[in-house]
Structure formats: C-alpha cells, structure tokens
C-alpha cells in the first residue's frame, strides 16, 4: 500500500508532462495553419480563467487571505511577464522552429531561474562546497547546449512527409521574416530564449506574490484573466483584422480548450500537488519527459523532421539540468547537516548538527 502511495506522484507527473507534450504539438499544428499566436494566447488564458474561477471560489473563499489593491497590481504585472509576453514569444519561436526544438529551450527554465536569482541576490552559491561547484558546472553545460542549439542545426535524422513550409504570414506577427532557413532558425531561437528568460523572471515574481497571497487557484485565475485582456489589447494594436479572431475548424477549437483546461488548469493543479508531496526538485527532474514525448509523437504520427544539432543540444541541456538539480539537492543536504556550535550549561561549546 505504501509503495502505491509512493508511485502516485510519479504516475501523475508523467501524465502531466504527457498532456503538456500534446499541447505543444497542437500549438505547432495550428500555428502552421496560420492561427495568430496572440489569438491563441488570449483564448487559452480566457479558457483557463473560466475553468479555474469556480475552483478558486469554492476551494479558497474561506481561506482568510485578503485580495488587496497592491496584490492585484502585482498579479497584473505577473500576468504581463509570465502569461502575455512569455507565451506569445514562445509561440512565435515555435512557429519559426519546431515543437521539439522549442521544448529543449523550456528545459532551461530551472537554470535561467537559478542564474536570475543569483544576479538579483535572491540565491547564493558556495563555490567552496561540492554542491555549489556542481551547480555552476550544470549551468555551464546548459549554456553550452543552448549555444549549440542556436548555432548548429546539423543534418536531418529522418525524412519528413511534408514540405515543412507553414502557412505563416509574417504580417500577422508584425515582424519581418527572412526566407533563409538558417536565419529563420536563429531568429526563432532568439524569441525562445527571451521567452524563457521572461518565464524565469515570472517564477521569481510569483514567489514573492505567493508569500503575501498564498491562494494558488485564485492567483492563477486572476493572472489568466489579466493576461487574456493584455493579449487581446496587444493583438488589436498589432493586427486590426477582426477575421483573425474567427476560430476555423475543430483542431483550433480543440487546441484552445485543451490548452486552457489542461495546460493552464489541470496540469497546474497536478504539478502543485506533486510539489507539495515530493518537492520542487522532484517535479523539475521529470520536465525533460515533455521533449521525449514530443519526439515520440512526432516520429509516430506527424513525421516532423528532427536535426542532429537539436538532438545533441537537447542532450546537453538535459544533462546540465540534472547536474544542476543534483548540485542543488546536494547543497541543501549539506546545509541541513552542517555542524553548529551548541552552548553547554557549564559555558563550554560543543559541536552539534543543525
């Protein structure tokens, strides 16, 4: 019975990351068919707000935490960074590249969050300890993997069953697109990298908000609501064509509902439960499964072209991620077992465990 309880978080987090893999593949398909990324973000966040709103009301209405004006302002800014900007840039980068490639950048989130926390002095590293040295090594490996992903595409490892050309309209994005494929790849990598940095910054912002307003369902529902409004305003400012808001076909409807209900709703609840049960390191350690699931689904059903540079760079990023997580766990374990001086009644000092 105890073994079944231990396996529950493992099975749940694998299911969560499988749903996220399916969501990313659906995003890539509707983007290739010409759906605007800001429209996707708006509809996704709207579906998430509608889905999480009733859950937040029934689960957290008696929590006793007051939603003040400063907290609402922080949630609005959090939505701008973590929802509107991050998701829009990530989808643009995915459209320029591929679902497999963009997911490799998503594995960088723990690393970039760690580096941002160092720059903002929210976290420190003891370079004299083994754990601190391993954390730095893991970060360097991940950075090397990203450089390889951006600069080296390599030969295709499989034969695609389609031309690989999307029905992308550059005017929908408000940016000029070059026809040269390597330049397009680098441009997409730039969008992905900026989105990941914004996403990491959102984690630091959300950590501060969580201390003042720990209601995770309510804060996510408000963030989704604010993000939907921001994305809609930004979309109308960039593209004033009302026809882009028309959802055409079952695939676009399925993608929007799936992303809102599962991607921003149930997946968030599942990840939050896993963090409570086994901690953030356990939850982060399974994140490379998203890329593995995407590669498997792409090869089995969609036959997307996979390049050597993406495989090698992804392996480096994943290895660096695990090295960083191991070093972080090692550092936390060393801190808990660090000897401290304990004052005896006779005035002498003795060494004890913290």
Q: Where are the alpha helices (DSSP H) in 33-83?
A: 37-60, 69-79
Confidence of residue 229 (pLDDT cuts 50, 70, 90): very high
Residue 249 located in a structural domain: yes
Question: What is the distance of C-alpha 241 from the center of its chain?
Answer: 30
Residue 196 located in a structural domain: yes
Give the mean model confidence (pLDDT) for residues 52-72.
86
- Is residue 165 over pLDDT 50? no
**Per-residue pLDDT at 89:** 93
Residue 184 located in a structural domain: yes
CA torsion, ordered 38, 17, 168, 150, to nearest 10 deg: 110
**Per-residue pLDDT at 265:** 77
- Is residue 164 over pLDDT 70? no
Residue 127 located in a structural domain: yes
Residue 170 located in a structural domain: no
Residue 231 located in a structural domain: yes
**Per-residue pLDDT at 61:** 82
Give the mean model confidence (pLDDT) for residues 99-120.
80
Distance CA 136, CA 144 (A): 12
Confidence of residue 43 (pLDDT cuts 50, 70, 90): very high
**Per-residue pLDDT at 209:** 83
Domain that holds residue 88: 2-163+179-336
- Is residue 244 over pLDDT 80? yes
**Per-residue pLDDT at 117:** 80
The H or E element spanning position 353 is strand 349-353
- Is residue 180 over pLDDT 80? no
CA–CA–CA angle 80, 82, 253 (5° rounding): 90
**Per-residue pLDDT at 231:** 93
Give the mean model confidence (pLDDT) for residues 40-63.
88
pTM of the model: 0.76
pLDDT single digits (tens) 75-91:
999 899 988 999 899 99
Confidence of residue 172 (pLDDT cuts 50, 70, 90): very low
The H or E element spanning position 340 is strand 339-343
Structure tokens at 109: 């989130």
- Is residue 171 over pLDDT 50? no
Residue 349 located in a structural domain: no
Residue 345 located in a structural domain: no
The count of domains in the chain is 1
């Amino acid at each position: 019975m105890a073994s079944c309880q231990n396996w529950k978080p493992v099975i749940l987090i694998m299911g969560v990351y499988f749903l996220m893999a399916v969501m990313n593949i659906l995003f890539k398909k509707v983007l290739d068919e010409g759906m605007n990324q800001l429209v996707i973000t708006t509809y996704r966040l709207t579906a998430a707000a509608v889905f999480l709103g009733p859950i937040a009301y029934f689960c957290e209405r008696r929590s006793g935490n007051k939603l003040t004006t400063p907290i609402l302002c922080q949630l609005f800014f959090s939505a701008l960074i973590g929802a509107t900007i991050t998701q829009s840039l990530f989808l643009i980068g995915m459209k320029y590249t591929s679902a497999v490639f963009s997911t490799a950048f998503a594995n960088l989130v723990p690393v970039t969050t760690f580096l941002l926390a160092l720059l903002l002095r929210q976290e420190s590293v003891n370079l004299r300890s083994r754990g601190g040295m391993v954390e730095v090594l893991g970060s360097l490996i991940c950075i090397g993997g990203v450089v390889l992903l951006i600069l080296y595409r390599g030969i295709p490892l499989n034969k695609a069953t389609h031309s690989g050309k999307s029905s992308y309209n550059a005017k929908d994005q408000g940016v000029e697109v070059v026809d040269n494929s390597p330049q397009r790849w680098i441009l997409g990598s730039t969008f992905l990298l900026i989105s990941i940095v914004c996403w990491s910054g959102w984690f630091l912002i959300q950590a501060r908000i969580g201390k003042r307003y720990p209601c995770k369902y309510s804060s996510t529902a408000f963030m989704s609501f604010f993000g939907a409004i921001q994305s809609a305003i930004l979309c109308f400012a960039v593209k004033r064509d009302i026809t882009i808001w028309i959802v055409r076909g079952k695939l676009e409807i399925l993608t929007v509902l799936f992303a809102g209900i599962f991607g921003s709703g149930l997946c968030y609840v599942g990840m939050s439960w896993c963090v409570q049960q086994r901690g953030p390191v356990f939850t982060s350690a399974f994140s490379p499964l998203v890329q593995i699931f995407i590669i498997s689904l792409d090869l089995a059903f969609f036959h997307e072209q996979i390049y050597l540079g993406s495989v090698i760079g992804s392996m480096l990023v994943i290895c660096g991620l695990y090295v960083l997580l191991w070093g972080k766990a090692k550092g936390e374990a060393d801190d808990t077992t660090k000897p401290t001086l304990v004052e005896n009644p006779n005035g002498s000092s003795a060494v004890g465990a913290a």
